Every structure is written in structure tokens, then in C-alpha cells.
Structure 1
Amino acid sequence: MNLTLRQLEILVAIGDTLSLTAAAEKLGVSQPSVSETLRRVEGELGCKLVDRTTRQLALTYEGHHVVASAREAMRSLAGTFEAIARRGDGVHGRLSIAALPSAVCTLLPPALRSFRKCYPGIAVSVRDALQDRAMAMLEDGSVDLVIAGQPAWQGGFVFEEIASDQLKLVVSRHHPLSGRDRVGWSELAAFEFIAMSTSSSVRRLTDAGFIHANLQTAPAYEVDQISCAAALAAAGLGITALPTMTFAMFNADELTVIPLIAPTIERSIGMTWLKDRPLSASAIKFVAALRARRA
């Protein structure tokens, strides 16, 4: 079957929003036209692309593959248009990045400022996301590049380090440990621990610290946001361990930061892209800019 550009856009919008109404609003078309496009595509394919039995639309197995293919086709077209535009006097294009919130707060602002000064014709979008969500957006084609921790499985990815930081113990200024100049992981067993959620790259680091210290610790609290972990610690509700790059994300006036040892755990932050998907011209320029800053 031959899909039009508009049909591809509608399929991608449905995959992004999981709502026919929201997809229509995103594209500036009527909801009936979105429904009709979906009906026609499903009819030609002979299978359902979305499950309408739930309160919110959900992509079927076939739907995930069709939307991913539509997204890849749109990306290919965008790359072609970008290449044509580059033949003019200026440099034009689009770049979509998913990055850890800590990277958005620290690494990206100066990099983006200089990049946009050099390439004002390249439109850049940034999505802040935890590690697992960022990698999922890279795999489904929502973004060109991820700035995050090293992937747990690197088989299909290219990872290039651009920064690193260390885990530090974060406690209330009134906590018994606040006067220490260093603390071993094994000493944390005596205190309630505030952990990041399992979808966070930070959680994997703290789990590794406890495993190395031969401790089995059940978190007293488990949160998604760095600022929430810091706030709970500041209130004296427990202790937490956070990478130094995240300190830009919260007010540390009521907190004490202490080096953690035995082991000292470092986090590698870098650029990740897919091995089997060539970077766009805009992404290549941004990668070069980050490499230059690293050097």
C-alpha cells in the first residue's frame, strides 16, 4: 500500500498521543478525519492498529510496528528536506534530544547556547526524561540523540562519554552523619534510605553501592524526582545518595553533602545514538560541538 505524507503524520501523532482527539489537535485537523485515516489504513492492512477497549487508546503489536515505520519514514523525509535546504546559503534542520534532567540543568545550557549561535537555522527540541524513557524515545525514533548514562545493554547503541560525576551522600544538616568528612556504604544500613525509582539511572548506581557493601536495603521512600529525594532528606526523613551533577536541581541550604567510599561510585554521562540509524546532519553538528567542549 502507498501511504500519503498526511497519513504518515496522522499515524505518528496517534502513536505520540494515544488519542484521536489529541492527534487531531496536534495536526490541526478534524477528529473525524483522523478516525477515517486510521480506519482506511487498518482496512488496507487487514489488522487493528489500536485497541479501543481501554479508556485510553493503546497500540496493538502491529500498531507499534506500523507507527515506528511511519516515524522512520517521516524522519527519512525530514533528512532529505534538510539536505536540500543545506544547499542554500544557510544551514537549516531539526534536532531532537532526550536528556536526563541533571544534564538539562548542567551540560546542555552552555552547549545549546553556543550551538544555536553557530547554527541559528537549526531548530532544537529538548525532552527531559529518566534513563529508560529517554532510551525508549531513541529506539522509537522520537529523538535523534540521548544525553544520559551509559546504556545497560550497548548492543544496538553507540555511547560516547562527555562528562562524569560521583555519588555523594546527602543528609539533613541535623543528621548524625552531617559532621563526617566521609562515610562508607556499609554504614548506611543503620538509616532509612530514600531511593530513586527503578527507571532512574541513579537507582542502578545506589543498588550497586549496596551490593558492593553486601547490604540488602529496602527503601523507606522511592521517588521519581531528584528534588523530591532532596526534600525528604532535608526534612530528616532519611538519607539519600545522589550524583553531583544533580545538585543543580535542588536547594541545598538545609543539606550536607558527604563523600561516599568503599566503594566510590562514578557515573558516566554521554551521548547515545542507534548504530543502525545514521545521524542527521544536525545531530552530527551537535555531536561535534559536544566533543569540542569535552576536549
Structure 2
Amino acid sequence: MNITLRQLRVFRAVALEGNFSRAGDSIGLTQPAVSRAILELETQLGVRLLDRTTRDVVLTDAGHALALRLERVLDELDQTLQDVGGLARARRGKVRVASSPTLSANLMPSCIAACAEREPGIQLVLLDRIQQDVLGSVRSGEVDFGVVIEPVGTDDLNVELIMKDLFVLVTRPGHPLAHGHAVKWSALTGYPLVLLDHASGSRRLIDTALIHHGAHCEIVQELGHPTTVFRMIEAGIGISVMPALAMPPEGIPGLVACSLTPVVQRDIVLVHRRNRTPSPLAQRVWEIIRDVAGARLTPP
């Protein structure tokens, strides 16, 4: 049977009013529209629900049986729809977001502060993990969504670009390349490099840029955290190519960041499972992170 909610609501109105015209007035329909809905309902059920008189209508036995049960069913349905609709208007709850380390340290604090200001009833819980673990958390449903760097193999994910981040050269102030001008990638040739390891979402992009732009360097250390890379540079162990976002806005005492040419950027993206719509709360947090990221560096 192809019975519609509209037909059931029309029948309930007729059962209550005992008249097609009055029923139509109560639910905002014309008398012909009411008659047509009742006829369609009776056709679908294969039973007569109303006996028509010249002025009013009378419920048949089948009509009485339907009317007795229908009132409760429609009331429960209305309450259910109100409850579900309330989820879209909810302003209190917890949203879990995973992000890779450089983003956790230098983008997400601003996002968490903005969320606390704009949506004080939402608690943004951050999981700080290496990129592959972030993607695993998104796929498993452990988190609502993730913030990552140019992921590969994302056919099962929805991906939204929120900002672009430059790669920069990081050295000690007295280094020959720290001359205040943009440094060519090829000029890095021969200098020892201290880089983030391959667990970082940026490492693949840095390796590609070094090869593409003819920089032949020895990688002397591969490390998991930007802070460790910076300490190695301070100690004179080597120079580094790092995402600009890894550098605090106030800079790092004892180190300088120089622009590289040609410009190479990495994409910062938000990801969630393709066939799972984020909850209304998660969608609000998604939009806040997008807004904060767009104001930080080069917009996409």
C-alpha cells in the first residue's frame, strides 16, 4: 500500500469534525482536496471508512477502528519528529576531532578557542595523532572528522580544502642561506637536512619538492615532532624544510624561517566518512575550523 501521512492526517481531521468542509478548514485544505484524500485512502485500504450524508459524514466500523488507533500513532509520530528535529537545534554536546601534530599544535588551539566562544555548549575533544592514525580514526568512526595534510587514497572519504600552507627553510641566523631573500630549492644541495619522518603528512610532499627542484641533500636526522627538529637545527646538526604552520606566529628564538622558491604548498583538508553525514554539532565545529583556518594563512 502507498498510504501517505497527508491522507492519514486528513482522515483524522474528518473523523474529529464529522464534516469535509470543517475538516478542510482545520487543516488548511479545500473541501475537494479533503474528499480526494479520503477517496485515495479508502482505495489503498480497500475498505470504506466513511458513510456520506447530505450534510455530514459518519464513520463506518472500519473507520472507527482506524480512528481509535490513528490518534495515538500520529501523536507518537509528531513527538518523534519533534525529538529528531531537536537534534538539529541542539547546542550542547561533544565533538571528537583528530588532527596531525603540526596542525594540533599550531592550528587547533585557535579553533578550540573559537568553538568555546561561538558555541559554548559544544566540547571540542582533540585527538593528536600521526596522519595515518587520524585517517584510521575517521574511518573507524572513533572521531567525527579529521584535519589532515593532502591525504592519498581517499575514495571512501569526503575531503574539503580549507587552507594552503607554504613550505619554508628553517636555519640558524648565521647560516649562509639565511640572507633575507627567497632561497631556491636547488641551493639546498650539499647541506645536511633534518626532516620530519614519514609518519608526517608533509614528508612525502617535501621529498617530492626536493627531487623536482634539483636539491641533492643528505638527510641526517628524521624525527617525529617539529620541536625536536628545531632543537637539532639550533644545535647545528642541519637545516630543515618545514611547513610554515609549524612555526609559531612569534617565531622561534635562535632560528629564522626563509621563503623558498619556487613556492611549494601543502593542502590542509577536513575529512569525514563519505557515506556518514556529520551530526549537526559536528557540522558546526567543521564550519568553525574552516573559518579559523581560512583566516590564518593563504586561503584556498
TM-score normalised by length of structure 1: 0.65
Which residue of structure 2 aligns with residue 270 of structure 1? 269
Matches within 5 A, 1:151-230: 151-215=151-215, 217-230=217-230
The CA RMSD over aligned residues, in Å, is 2.7
**1:172 offset after TM fit, Å?**
1.2
**1:195 offset after TM fit, Å?**
1.4
Which residue of structure 1 aligns with residue 8 of structure 2? none
**1:167 offset after TM fit, Å?**
0.4
Match of 2:199, SS? coil
**1:271 offset after TM fit, Å?**
1.0
Match of 1:170, SS? strand
Which digits, 9 at most, give the CA deviation of each residue in 1:219-255, with x for residues without a partner? 1001000111111111111010111111029962111
In the superposition, relative to structure 1, how do residues 178 and 93 fare at CA in structure 2: closer, same or farther (>3 Å)? Answer: same
Which residue of structure 2 aligns with residue 66 of structure 1? none
2:103 partner letter? A
Which residue of structure 1 aligns with residue 122 of structure 2? 122
Confirm or deny: 8 A CA contact 2:188 2:215 kept in the other structure: no
Match of 1:162, SS? strand
Matches within 5 A, 1:225-236: 225-236=225-236
Structure 2 unaligned residues grouped into runs of 5+: 1-79, 296-300
1:284 partner letter? Q
Which residue of structure 1 aligns with residue 148 of structure 2? 148
Which residue of structure 2 aligns with residue 288 of structure 1? 287
User: Which deviates further from its counterpart, 85-94 or 247-256?
Assistant: 85-94
Which digits, 9 at most, give the CA deviation of each residue in 1:64-95, with x for residues without a partner? xxxxxxxxxxxxxxxx9xx7694698523221
User: Which deviates further from its counterpart, 88-97 or 217-226?
Assistant: 88-97
C-alpha distance in 2 between matches for 1:103 and 1:257: 18
Match of 1:126, SS? strand
1:267 partner letter? R
Which digits, 9 at most, give the CA deviation of each residue in 1:41-74, with x for residues without a partner? xxxxxxxxxxxxxxxxxxxxxxxxxxxxxxxxxx
**1:176 offset after TM fit, Å?**
1.9
C-alpha distance in 2 between matches for 1:101 and 1:249: 16
Which residue of structure 1 aligns with residue 107 of structure 2? 107
Match of 1:109, SS? helix
C-alpha distance in 1 between matches for 2:203 and 2:267: 14
In the superposition, relative to structure 1, how do residues 107 and 212 fare at CA in structure 2: closer, same or farther (>3 Å)? Answer: same
C-alpha distance in 1 between matches for 2:251 and 2:215: 30
**1:119 offset after TM fit, Å?**
2.9
Which residue of structure 2 aligns with residue 67 of structure 1? none
Whether 1:241 and 2:244 are equivalent positions in the alignment is no
**1:181 offset after TM fit, Å?**
1.0
**1:122 offset after TM fit, Å?**
2.5
In the superposition, relative to structure 1, how do residues 247 and 117 fare at CA in structure 2: closer, same or farther (>3 Å)? Answer: same
Confirm or deny: 8 A CA contact 2:149 2:201 kept in the other structure: yes
In the superposition, relative to structure 1, how do residues 167 and 88 fare at CA in structure 2: closer, same or farther (>3 Å)? Answer: closer
C-alpha distance in 1 between matches for 2:216 and 2:182: 21
Give identity over the alignment, percent: 23
Which digits, 9 at most, give the CA deviation of each residue in 1:188-227, with x for residues without a partner? 1211111111110121121011120245544100100011
Structure 1 unaligned residues grouped into runs of 5+: 1-79
**1:275 offset after TM fit, Å?**
0.4
C-alpha distance in 1 between matches for 2:275 and 2:110: 30
Which digits, 9 at most, give the CA deviation of each residue in 1:233-287, with x for residues without a partner? 11111010111111029962111211111x3211111211110222122111112
Which digits, 9 at most, give the CA deviation of each residue in 1:147-170, with x for residues without a partner? 121212221111112222100100
C-alpha distance in 2 between matches for 1:164 and 1:128: 20
Which residue of structure 2 aligns with residue 91 of structure 1? 91
In the superposition, relative to structure 1, how do residues 288 and 211 fare at CA in structure 2: closer, same or farther (>3 Å)? Answer: same
Match of 2:275, SS? coil
In the superposition, relative to structure 1, how do residues 88 and 282 fare at CA in structure 2: closer, same or farther (>3 Å)? Answer: closer
Confirm or deny: 8 A CA contact 1:86 1:92 kept in the other structure: no
Q: How many residues align?
A: 213
Which residue of structure 1 aligns with residue 70 of structure 2? none
In the superposition, relative to structure 1, how do residues 257 and 292 fare at CA in structure 2: closer, same or farther (>3 Å)? Answer: closer
Confirm or deny: 8 A CA contact 1:196 1:222 kept in the other structure: yes
In the superposition, relative to structure 1, how do residues 250 and 223 fare at CA in structure 2: closer, same or farther (>3 Å)? Answer: farther
